[in-house]
Amino acid sequence: MRRFVISILIILLILSTWSAVLADSISSKNYYELSGISVRIDGTELNELYYNDKLSNVSLKKIDDLILYTEVVNIENIGESEFVDAIVKYNDGTFEKVSNIADWESDNPDVVFAYKGRILAVGKGSTIVRVSISNFTREIKVNVEGRTDVREVILKLDKDTDKKTNSTYLRDYVVDKAKRMVDVSWTPSQNLTGWLGRYTFTKGVTYKGIPYSQTPNQRDEIGFLQSLNNAADFYVPYTDPNGRIMPRYGSDCSGFVSFAWGISRQTTWSFLQGIKNGTYKKVGSYNVDNPTSSELLTSYLQLQRGDAVVNEGHTFLIAYNDKTNKKVYAYEQTPYYAQYTVWTYTQMADGKYRPFTLTYMDDPILPYSLFLELE
């Protein structure tokens, strides 16, 4: 009987100790990592998933090292991006890509913005990008030469396209609306906190582009200026249920595309579902659920101005398709504000971006000049 009682006590002690270790490892985020979670949160747009949100059927592993694909990045032009893989090595000798769940932060967000493995050039200069996960931090030295600003390239291509086509189709309205959201000029009368609290729109400084934000207060350029001038809480930061700080008024990527297309507020998930059920027209031919790189690369050749691409967590509009050099110029709502950007076909295919458009995109509409009068 005594042996039985002692055995029970030992078992209870072991269970108690394991529970404490498990709870501590999850809450601290400093020693253990949840394996496999990067697949589940790849590209999450509306809700960031945290370590303690995914406990079922997940094993705990100790991270031994954080490895970066490269520690030096050179970007030639403003508006271009480079993508860097972040990989963890576990104590059992296995590896896992964690670019989407690692923390990326630029020392100078006026030179580059870094998020989920993407390093986007926004200005000329040099800076450091810090990548962190668990108690590991690695640095990437980044230099932006700034030889060309993609914005100037897109504006020139836009003018040339207008001269050649003199089109009165919906594409004109879509492209012009996107351009206005990227080019909207505004000057805060107080400091405004940007996405994740990592950028400050400084009082008295004039900016272009709607701030990136995932609040319910989605705004196009007209609504944003109205909020800037009239909303009593405009400068009060918004904190979402996950503790992320952001501007109270702005737009996210899918809100941006929704405004440009003149449709109700969508998300990346609803866009993908819409491609599958026919609400939106697939551009090219590919398996929506699991597209191959070959399918996507071929389909990108059919993209036109005003179309869009989408994956599970991001979407942006096409400004011009450079089929010769296999890249697209884009209007994109991304932190910390809407911008002109450029993507190669390969970058889009690597991100599983599906090309799509409105089913009525090429239907004739009123001359575009009438849209301006109506507005």
DSSP per-residue string spanning 140-206: EEEEE--SSBHHHHHHHHHHHHHHHH---BHHHHHHHHHHHHHH-EE--SS-EE-GGG--EE-TT--
Q: Is residue 1 part of a domain?
A: no
Q: CA 270, CA 279: separation in Å to the nearest integer?
A: 10
Name the range with the highest mean pLDDT among 37-46, 54-63, 186-195: 186-195
Name the range with the highest mean pLDDT among 29-33, 91-95, 210-214: 210-214
Tokens matching residue 128: 């450091």
Give the residue from 120, 116, 73 showing the smallest Cα distance to 97: 116
Give the residue from 81, 107, 138 showing the smallest Cα distance to 314: 81
Range of the domain at 184: 150-374
Q: How confident is the model at residue 167 (pLDDT cuts 50, 70, 90)?
A: low
Q: How confident is the model at residue 365 (pLDDT cuts 50, 70, 90)?
A: low
Q: Is 354 or 49 the better-scoring residue by pLDDT?
A: 354
Phi, psi at 177, each rounded to 5°: -65, -45
Q: How confident is the model at residue 151 (pLDDT cuts 50, 70, 90)?
A: confident
On whether both 357 and 285 belong to a single domain, the answer is: yes
| Helix/strand/coil for 234 | coil
**67 has pLDDT over 60:** yes
Q: What is the number of structural domains in the chain?
A: 2
Q: Is residue 26 part of a domain?
A: no
Q: CA 329, CA 323: separation in Å to the nearest integer?
A: 11
On whether both 132 and 170 belong to a single domain, the answer is: no
On whether both 81 and 49 belong to a single domain, the answer is: yes
Q: Is residue 14 part of a domain?
A: no
On whether both 329 and 263 belong to a single domain, the answer is: yes
**289 has pLDDT over 80:** yes
Q: Is residue 317 part of a domain?
A: yes
pLDDT at 166: 47
**8 has pLDDT over 50:** no
Give the mean pLDDT of 155-178: 74
**Host H or E run for residue 342:** strand 339-344
On whether both 91 and 239 belong to a single domain, the answer is: no
On whether both 117 and 157 belong to a single domain, the answer is: no
Give the mean pLDDT of 105-127: 96
**259 has pLDDT over 60:** yes
Q: Is 242 or 4 the better-scoring residue by pLDDT?
A: 242
- Cβ neighbors of 286 (< 8 A, separation 6 or more) are 292, 295, 296, 299, 354
Q: CA 198, CA 2: separation in Å to the nearest integer?
A: 61
Assess contact for 365 and 262: CB atoms under 8 A: no
Q: Is residue 362 part of a domain?
A: yes
> What Å distances lie between residue 330 and 89, 153, 301, 373, CA to CA?
36, 11, 15, 27
Pairing, β 136-144 against β 280-282: unpaired
Last residue of a domain, one of 144, 176, 200: 144
pLDDT at 61: 79
Q: Is residue 94 part of a domain?
A: yes
Q: Is residue 119 part of a domain?
A: yes
Q: Could you identify the residue written with the tokens 């001269």?
A: 163
On whether both 139 and 212 belong to a single domain, the answer is: no
Last residue of a domain, one of 120, 144, 168: 144
Pairing, β 200-201 against β 207-208: unpaired
**333 — alpha (psi -120 to 50), left (phi > 0) or beta?**
beta
Tokens matching residue 45: 């747009």
Assess contact for 198 and 105: CB atoms under 8 A: yes
Q: CA 2, CA 8: separation in Å to the nearest integer?
A: 10
Q: How confident is the model at residue 60 (pLDDT cuts 50, 70, 90)?
A: low
On whether both 101 and 47 belong to a single domain, the answer is: yes
Kindly report the number of other CB atoms within 10 A of residue 344's CB atom.
16
On whether both 284 and 214 belong to a single domain, the answer is: yes
**118 has pLDDT over 90:** yes
pLDDT at 23: 34
pLDDT at 16: 44
Phi, psi at 50, each rounded to 5°: -105, 165
On whether both 253 and 118 belong to a single domain, the answer is: no
- Flag the least confident range among 23-32, 116-125, 227-236: 23-32
Tokens matching residue 256: 């941006």
Q: Average pLDDT, whole number, for the chain?
A: 83
Q: How confident is the model at residue 161 (pLDDT cuts 50, 70, 90)?
A: low
pLDDT at 287: 97
pLDDT at 154: 85
Last residue of a domain, one of 144, 178, 203: 144
Give the mean pLDDT of 76-94: 95
Phi, psi at 74, each rounded to 5°: -115, 125
- Residue 57 sits in a domain whose CATH number is 2.60.40.1080
Give the mean pLDDT of 286-291: 97
pLDDT at 306: 95
Q: CA 39, CA 59: separation in Å to the nearest integer?
A: 14
Assess contact for 356 and 335: CB atoms under 8 A: no
On whether both 133 and 175 belong to a single domain, the answer is: no
pLDDT digits (tens, 9 = 90+) for 218-237: 999 999 999 999 989 999 99
- Flag the least confident range among 1-5, 277-281, 288-292, 361-365: 1-5
Q: Is residue 13 part of a domain?
A: no
Q: CA 101, CA 132: separation in Å to the nearest integer?
A: 9
On whether both 154 and 239 belong to a single domain, the answer is: yes
pLDDT at 157: 82
Name the range with the highest mean pLDDT among 36-40, 51-55, 182-186: 182-186
